[in-house]
Amino acid sequence: MTSELKVEEIQPALTESKTSLFRERMKQFWESFSKNKAAVLGGAIVLIYILVAFFAPLLASYDPYEIDLTNKLQPPSMEHWMGTDDKGRDILARILYGSRLSMGVGFAAVTFGAFFGIIMGLVAGYYGGWLDTIISRILDVMLAFPGILLALAIISALGPSLINVMIAVGVFSIPLFARVVRGSMLETKKLEYIDAIRSLGANDATIIFKHILPNILSPIIIQGTLRLATAILSAAGLSFLGLGAQPPSPEWGTMLSNGRDFLFSAPYMAIFPGLAISILVLGFNLFGDGLRDALDPRLKS
Give the pLDDT confidence of 77-107 residue by residue, as tens digits: 999 899 999 899 999 999 999 999 989 999 9
In this predicted structure, what is the pLDDT of residue 147? Answer: 77
Report the SS3 class of residue 247. coil
The pTM of this model reads: 0.84
Domain boundaries, the chain: 1-35, 39-299
pLDDT at 97: 94
Contact residues for 290 (Cβ-Cβ < 8 A; gap 6+):
33, 36, 38, 39, 40, 42, 43
Return the CA Rg of the chain. 23
pLDDT reported for residue 5: 45
Q: How much is the pLDDT for 301?
A: 45
Tell me what pLDDT residue 4 has: 46
pLDDT at 48: 95
pLDDT of residue 95: 94
The arrangement of secondary structure in 39-299, i.e. its CATH architecture, is: Orthogonal Bundle (1.10)
The CA distance from 179 to 118, in Å, is 9
Q: Say if CB 254 and CB 64 are below 8 A apart.
A: no
Q: Which residues of the chain carry a pLDDT beneath 50?
A: 1-7, 301
Model pLDDT, residue 22: 62
Q: Distance between CA atoms of 96 and 115, rounded to whole angstroms?
A: 29
In angstroms, rounded to a whole number, what is the distance separating the alpha carbons of residues 289 and 42?
9
Which among 225, 228, 250 is positioned nearest to 239, based on CA atoms?
A: 250
Question: Cα separations (Å) of 181 from 28, 118, 176?
Answer: 24, 6, 9
Amino acid identity, position 285? N
CA-nearest of 237, 17, 217, 262 to 122 is: 217
Looking at residue 282, what is its pLDDT?
94
Which of the 8 DSSP states describes residue 216? G
DSSP sequence for 114-163? HHHHHHHHHHHHHH-HHHHHHHHHHHHHHHTS-HHHHHHHHHHHH-SSHH
pLDDT on residue 9 = 53
Q: How far apart are the first and last CA of the chain?
A: 51
CA angle 22–25–28, rounded 5-degree value? 150
Residue 234: count other Cβ atoms within 10 Å of its Cβ: 24
